[in-house]
Copies of this chain bind each other. A is one copy, B any other.
Amino acid sequence: MSVSISRLLLAGAFSLAVAVPATAQTTTKIDSLAIRKIYDEALLRGQSYENLRELCTKVGPRLSGSPQAEQAVQWGKVAMEKLGLDRVYLQEVMVPHWVRGAKEKAEIKPAKGKGLNLAVCALGGSVGTGGKLKAQLVEVKSMAELAALPAEKVKGKIVFFNRPMNATYVQTGRAYGEAGDQRRIGASEAAKRGAVGALVRSLSLAHDDLPHTGTMRYEDNVAKVPAAAVSTNGADQLSQLLKVDPDLTVELEMACQTLPDVKSYNVVGEIKGSKYPAEIITVGGHLDSWDLAQGAHDDGTGCVQSMEVLRLLKATGLRPERTVRAVLFMNEENGARGGMKYAELAKAAKEQHVAAMESDGGGFTPRGFNIEAEPAMVKKMQQWQPLFAPYGSSEFSPGHGGTDIGPLKDQVKALIGYDCDDQRYFDIHHTAADTFDKVNRRELELGGASMAALIYMISKYGL
């Protein structure tokens, strides 16, 4: 692009004008100026990016129960205290403590010829192999296909779940959700048929060599067999090799194990509402991350954006009329205990919650919000879309709020999921590539601004 576009671009430049009923003009003008103030502060002096740099590079990987998760709690508490909030505190919660262990490898062993290394990673929660596990494979695309196989085809084998994510969905989260059964319940379904292990195609739309971890669960009273993820390229290669050599074996060695639960914390900071302090709006992300990388997009970005919401409201002098609470939830990845504890304590204390927002889809350019509420409530919030259009974040659609705020559902009028461009998200999600350098400063700060803008509106008008 050359620079000759300058004048023409000015013609197409965004304006603050918004289409609303004349009666609402004045309020709208005030609100659109307030929202402009929030965006200006974020784009000129946003602190999300530098906070994320600290969390990613000074703390790094922080799986629940790990020493780094504990460091992350302390980091979050100090970062919140620096904001000069009305209240900062920790909520104790017991979390699972799974460790990957030192050894993690797999080798493809053809009937003849030398073995090939296969890049794998244990799925979170998997048992180890206890030495080497060597077995033939049976490839399936679905649970139904597995169920239809004769018992002798599965017994003693490793079930290779190889259904790709549906690339034709524009919403990658939908493709992730639909393919997720393989990772989540594959191992137990395989074990029920007599299999000794499960290999799962990574949940990714990229064609590369990165194995993607993620949580899996064992069904009660079913043998626990080891489960590992294989990269998308590795899965394609393995599938090809099986066509020419159906008897090839895979030798899997994983030292992962689950240790006793550990005490950990949600980190909470709040600004008291100026008019309705008893009415609470929650905004949060999760502080824990998988152990393979820095947990930048998943979900460092959601944490720093949630804290930034509070900073933006303070820095712009837009004191919320209702209480706004930022929560760094512990253990979203492999248990969601932090989210459940937060809702449990809210109910026990008879707190009055209005809405809850979660950012856990990456720190990319905002598109809007997914609203989990009654249709009438969604419609009500959609009246605010014109205020967000100048910033490209006006897609207010019915959708999923988030895993950590989910348990609050019966206590709020709306669960709100921050929605951003998700085309790149699952390329790095749960892999060694989820690092700080993948985050763009402006995209991240724009996200925090759009979250703060919607929370400003809810804090002013309620729901």
Which residues of chain A have a CB within 8 Å of any CB of chain B?
1-14, 39-40, 43-44, 167-174, 176-178, 180-181, 183-184, 203, 205-207, 214-215, 298-299, 332-334, 336, 360-361, 365, 367, 370, 372, 390-392, 395, 397-400, 402-403, 421, 423-425, 427, 429, 440-443, 446
Contacts and interface: CB of A to CB of B under 8 A. Distances in A.
A376 to B, nearest CB: 16
Contact of A214 (B2, B173, B177, B370): B2
Contacts of A365: 365, 421, 423
Nearest to A401: B8
Given A168-B39, A299-B1, A423 B440 contact: yes
A40 B169 CA distance: 9
Contacts of A43: 167-168
Contacts of A184: 3-4
A59 to B, nearest CB: 20
A12 to B, nearest CB: 3
Given A2-B214, A177-B3, A424-B443, A8 B400 contact: yes
Nearest to A176: B3
Contacts of A183: 3
Contacts of A395: 392
A414 to B, nearest CB: 14
Given A170-B39, A440-B427, A446-B170, A177 B421 contact: no
Contacts of A367: 392
Contacts of A40: 168
Interface core residue of A5, A395, A397, A403 (most chain B CB under 10 Å): A5
B168 A44 contact: yes
B173 A9 contact: yes
A18 to B, nearest CB: 14
A2 B333 contact: yes
A206 B403 CA distance: 33
Contact of A5 (B170, B390, B403): B403
A178 B9 CA distance: 9
Contacts of A2: 214-215, 332-334, 336, 403
Closest 8 CB pairs of A and B: A12-B399, A6-B177, A3-B180, A8-B400, A9-B177, A13-B174, A423-B442, A43-B167
10 contacts: A1-B173, A3-B183, A5-B173, A8-B177, A9-B171, A9-B400, A205-B442, A367-B392, A423-B442, A427-B440
A176 B206 CA distance: 32
A360 B1 contact: yes
A392 B176 CA distance: 18
A187 B37 CA distance: 36
Contacts of A168: 39-40, 43-44
A403 to B, nearest CB: 5
Contact of A4 (B6, B14, B403): B403
A169 B6 CA distance: 14
B392 A170 contact: yes
A5 B14 CA distance: 35
Nearest to A1: B360
B423 A443 contact: yes
Interface core residue of A1, A7, A9 (most chain B CB under 10 Å): A1
Contacts of A421: 365, 421
